[in-house]
Amino acid sequence: MKAAQDARSAAVVINAGSRRGAAHELAVDTMRKAGVPVSAVHHVLSGAELDGTLDRVVANGHDLIVVGGGDGTVTSAAGRIAGTDVMLGVLPLGTANDFARTLEIPNNLAEACATIADGKVVDIDLGRANGEPFLNVASVGLSVAVTEALSPRLKQYIGPLAYAIATLSAYARHKAFPSRLEFPDGDHEPLEFENLLQVAVGNGRHYGGGNTVSPTAGIDDHTLDIYAILAGPLREHVSIARLLKDGSFIKHDRVHHLTSRRVRLVTEQPLPVNLDGEIATSTPADFTIERNAVHVVVPQSSTSALFDGPGAGNWPPV
């Protein structure tokens, strides 16, 4: 299907615990009035409840699943429908909403509902870390400590500013770590690092409340953007931080950046891996990409992705 209007049955899953989750009733009513064939509505309050609900919704055979919540909620849904013709609609009800930002889905709830009613469908890439899905960025190092410092209450009360506060808190106690990057396809030589602040593997374009993975990163380019930030003096990290919004930080002397379709990250001790704001696996970690794996409803005006259709295939080709 290339348009949300082609859906026969839509299920809505709202993470009522997300920052703007209380608006779910208005969203459902708005979509129904706009002609979205909503036949089931589910409100969840916990991660365990979300996983079980998504499994049931997928099993029930809906061809459009509308998910309201933050990036972690959307990623959970995307991982379950990857490789199918089920369409994903997104209501950005979280704090960062970086996936919506990447695909130019409006942050305004009424406009997001209108997008689901009359938008177009694109197929986007999905990243995997040890088989676990991510849409935006997978990372090891400082970002994990930031995630741990981001309390639900902090996000609820101050919104995106919570990321800056959590970053300052995490940086103060973060310890550098050694690691090795390996490239199974042989497109790059292995890289050894003694002291790193962070390693990130990007599938999408935005992360961390509006930061940019790189100036050329896209969620439909069939490649992963990998960057490693070396540990160093505070003034160096401040200069990097100032360049995060537009992605130009990758040109900084203390940043190594490259692209690949597969990469393996090895560390001396197992380290947790942050996938779109959720700690979901640990190193050693194998990062891969599924091409055109998820069908998403986006605004008609969005230029962030295309619909390539069946036959585009995953990498490597079979």
Q: Which residues are catalytic?
A: 278
Which of these, 280, 284, 248, 249, lies nearest to 264 by C-alpha position?
A: 284
- E-strand ranges in 130-241 read 132-134, 137-141, 177-182, 191-202, 206-207, 211-212, 224-230
Please state the separation of Cα 174 from the chain's center in Å.
23
Element (H, E) at 291: strand 285-298
Please state the separation of Cα 119 from the chain's center in Å.
20
- Close Cβ partners of 21 (under 8 Å, ≥ 6 residues apart): 14, 15, 68, 69, 93
Q: Report CA torsion sign: 211, 216, 217, 220.
A: positive
Q: In sequence order, which ranges of 174-225 are alpha helices (DSSP H)?
A: none
Inter-CA distances, 271 with 25, 139, 184, 208, Å: 40, 10, 21, 20
Query: Which two three-digit tokens encode residue 108?
Result: 């305004």
SS3 at position 88 = strand
- Burial of 37: CB neighbours in 10 Å, binned 0-12, 13-18, 19+: middle
Inter-CA distances, 89 with 45, 199, 203, Å: 20, 30, 19
